[in-house]
Amino acid sequence: MSWSKLKQQLESFLCPALNGRVEYRATGYRYLPDKAGLCYISVDKKDVLRMNDKTSSIRWYQTELEIKNDPDIHIPISDEEMEAVRKDTKGNVPEDRLKVIARNRKISGYAKELLAAQASLSKSNFVAVATQFLSTSIEESIESKDILLNVLALVDRRVGKKRILNMSEKMKLKHPVVQYFYELRRSTC
């Protein structure tokens, strides 16, 4: 599918409040076939979803350690996770250390997911994910670990006000760019 046709289809699914505010853009290099073009999403003429843009207000993580040391990330620990650590350590660890161990395990998994999800957004990857979005259900796109699928679903008109308001807890564990688009959509409800 050509870029212009894909862009037209994506923009036809935009929520009415974001129509004209959210734009899909692409760059291409006609004479440099080995250089991939970039696709990015802009809000109010400002590039928001562009991986290597240093002027972006969105935090792009480079290492697992950055994620572990980020004070803005709050990951809740359930009783089941605490019990799993207790079982793994055979009860030899003090109670206060169990929570620390469980939190570190969960953050490590979360960090790996985040780094995998924020892989470089080349034009071919964007086109593939956008085409996948057009052929899958909204529920699958929202539940996906793919940042771009989450973003496309959040700005979609098929996601209603009630669903947006009910997913605030889920959004706390998503990438900062997904949280940004969630807040943008919530502000238009």
- 3 state DSSP class of 172: coil
Same domain for 135 and 100: no
Query: Which position has the higher pLDDT, 120 or 175?
Result: 175
Asked if residue 167 lies in contact with residue 142, where contact means CB atoms within 8 angstroms, the answer is: yes
- 3 state DSSP class of 46: strand
Same domain for 178 and 127: yes
Spell out the SS3 assignment of 79-138: HHHHHHHHHHCCCCCCHHHHHHHHHHHHHHHHHHHHHHHCCCCEHHHHHHHHHHHHHCCH
Task: Give the whole-angstrom CA distance, residue 186 versus residue 70.
Answer: 24
Query: Which position has the higher pLDDT, 180 or 175?
Result: 180
Instruction: Give the range of the structural domain holding residue 123, as residue numbers without chain letter.
Output: 3-60+118-188
- pLDDT given for residue 188 in this prediction: 87
Give the confidence band of 31 by pLDDT, cuts at 50, 70, 90: low
- For residues 15-23, average pLDDT: 91
Same domain for 127 and 55: yes
Same domain for 108 and 88: yes
Same domain for 129 and 110: no
Give the confidence band of 120 by pLDDT, cuts at 50, 70, 90: very low
Please give the model's pTM, rounded to 2 decimal places.
0.69
Cα R_g (the chain), whole angstroms: 19
Same domain for 128 and 52: yes
**Of 80, 99, 117, at which residue does a domain stop?**
117
- 3 state DSSP class of 14: strand
- Number of domains making up the chain: 2
Same domain for 82 and 12: no
Sheet of strand 22-26: strand arrangement: 22-26, 39-43, 46-49
Same domain for 180 and 125: yes
Same domain for 122 and 56: yes
- pLDDT given for residue 184 in this prediction: 93
Same domain for 26 and 81: no
Same domain for 124 and 111: no
- For residues 103-110, average pLDDT: 83
Task: Give the whole-angstrom CA distance, residue 49 versus residue 151.
Answer: 9
The per-residue pLDDT for range 48-105, each reduced to its tens digit, is 876 554 445 556 667 777 777 877 777 788 888 888 888 888 878 888 888 888 888 8
Query: Which position has the higher pLDDT, 109 or 34?
Result: 109
Same domain for 94 and 138: no
